[in-house]
Amino acid sequence: MKLLVCISKVPDTTSKINFVENNTKFDENGVQYIVNPYDEWYALVRALELVESHGGSVTTITVGSAADDPTIRKALAIGANDAVRIDAEPSDPYFVAKQIAEYAKNENYDIILTGKETINYNGAQIGGMIAEMLNTPFVSLATKLDINNNLATLERDVKGGVEIIEVNTPFVLSAAKGMAEQRIPNMRGIMAARTKPLNVINPVEQELLSSVVKFELPDAKSGCKYVEPENMDELVELLHNEAKVI
Minimum Å distance from CB 205 to another protein? 14
- The burial of 34, by beta-carbon neighbours within 10 Å (0-12 exposed, 13-18 middle, 19 or more buried), is given as middle
- Which CB sits closer to another protein, 191 or 243? 243
Choice between 5 and 179, CB closer to another protein: 179
Q: Shortest approach of another protein to residue 19 CB, angstroms? A: 7
Task: Give the C-alpha separation, 110 to 115, whole Å.
Answer: 17
Please name every residue paired with 4 in a beta bridge, in sequence order, or none if there are none.
59, 112
Shortest CB 188 distance to another protein, Å: 27
CB of 68 to another protein, least distance (A): 18
Of 106 and 166, nearer to another protein (C-beta) is 166
Instruction: For another protein, give the closer residue by CB, 131 or 193.
Output: 131
Nearest alpha-carbon partner for 5 in 139, 174, 199, 179? 174
Q: Which is nearer to another protein, 188 or 221 (CB)?
A: 221
Helices 126-134 & 93-104, crossing angle to 10 degrees? 40
How many other β-carbons are positioned within 10 Å of the β-carbon of residue 94?
16
Give burial (CB, 10 Å; 0-12/13-18/19+) of 235: middle
Shortest distance in whole angstroms from residue 21 CB to another protein: 14
Question: Phi, psi at residue 151, to the nearest 5°?
Answer: -110, 120
